[in-house]
Amino acid sequence: MDRFDAMRVFTRVVERRSFSKAAEDLGLPRSSVTEAVKALEARLGVRLLQRTTRHVGPTLDGEAYYRRCVGLLADLDEAEGAFAGASPKGLLHVGVHGGMASRILVPHLPEFLGAYPDIEVQLSESDRYVDLLQEGMDCVLRVGTLTDSDLVARRLTALPEATCASPDYLARHGVPHGPDDLDGHRMVGFRSSATGAVLPLEFMVAGERREVRLPSLLTVNGAETYAAAARAGLGLIQAPRYRLEADFRSGALVPVLAETPPSPTPVSVLYPRAKHLSPRLRAFIDWIAARLRAEGGGEAGRDGA
């Protein structure tokens, strides 16, 4: 195994926090991964990884060497890709919200994979916040307002939101025509994964944001359950329109308060801080940014469901 291959092995072990998972990702025997790291440590004369029965993590020297390796490997990939019309290649591990994966990302992935046939995409669906390095991800797409992070964050777009409820709910509680008509109404509570707080309903009235908190019979923390609760007549919800369009077409949900919509929901991509992006990650970020802009969006945003 040459020096650059050993660097790739080492960086994957750091990112996965596991020799076995790194070996699986790279299609190598675990023994080869272990020997590659040992050879690197012997050549450098330093300990790169702390190993216990339950955990593998970089030492301080290992952290510094990891950052240098990421930059060098990205430079190498880019240099090789500049010749003979070579396209980006390799495994791209992306974390994404399940609703965005099924409604926006996956339907258009043939376009991306057709343009970059040497890239293999692995999607991990989750509503929760993840540790990219711990879980071996190259980037994650997040919906809503971001909290402080050591990751690089690039704002991609802001997607329109809508307020809605089921026909049965509206028949029982009446159709509101403005935020002042919400007395006697209920909402399905949505607990933010970023803050742990239940989000209020939000309305833009004459350019000003107004928050309204209504009683809730049910509070959830998953987007699919949130929409299902609205279909069951348990209250008003607010969510990005792309998640609701099928329900609007079928009549399962009815949009209301269109004159005072919530502010659009920001969508961002986060990735580890490094000197360079790999060519495959840069290609994906540019593509998904264009794909999301095609969905339409504004400038403001909220921590939406």
Q: Are 281 and 151 in contact (CB under 8 A)?
A: no
Q: Is CATH 1.10.10.10 the right assignment for the domain spanning 3-81?
A: yes
- Output the six-digit token pair for 124: 């991990």
Edge-first strand order for the sheet with 152-159 is 119-125, 90-96, 139-143, 265-271, 152-159
CB atoms within 10 A of CB 83: 7
Task: Classify 161-256 by CATH class.
Answer: alpha beta
Q: 90-154+267-295: which CATH architecture?
A: 3-Layer(aba) Sandwich (3.40)
Q: What is the mean pLDDT of the chain?
A: 85
Q: What pLDDT does residue 88 have?
A: 82
Average pLDDT over residues 135-140: 77
pTM of the model: 0.65
Q: Which residue has the higher pLDDT, 213 or 275?
A: 213
Whole-angstrom CA distances from 112 to 89, 130, 288, 293 are 12, 25, 9, 15
> For residue 239, what are the β-bridge partners?
162
Asked if pLDDT for residue 302 goes beyond 80, the answer is no
Q: What pLDDT does residue 186 have?
A: 97
Helix axes 30-44, 19-26, angle to 10 degrees: 110
Q: Do domains 90-154+267-295 and 161-256 have the same CATH topology?
A: yes
| pLDDT tens string 260-288 | 999 888 888 888 776 567 788 889 999 99
Q: What pLDDT does residue 217 have?
A: 94
Whole-angstrom distance, CA of residue 16 vs CA of residue 139: 14
Whole-angstrom distance, CA of residue 258 vs CA of residue 204: 10
- Output the six-digit token pair for 275: 């000197």
Average pLDDT over residues 137-153: 77
Q: What pLDDT does residue 178 have?
A: 93
- Ordered by start, the domain boundaries in the chain are 3-81, 90-154+267-295, 161-256
Average pLDDT over residues 239-255: 94
Q: What pLDDT does residue 78 have?
A: 66
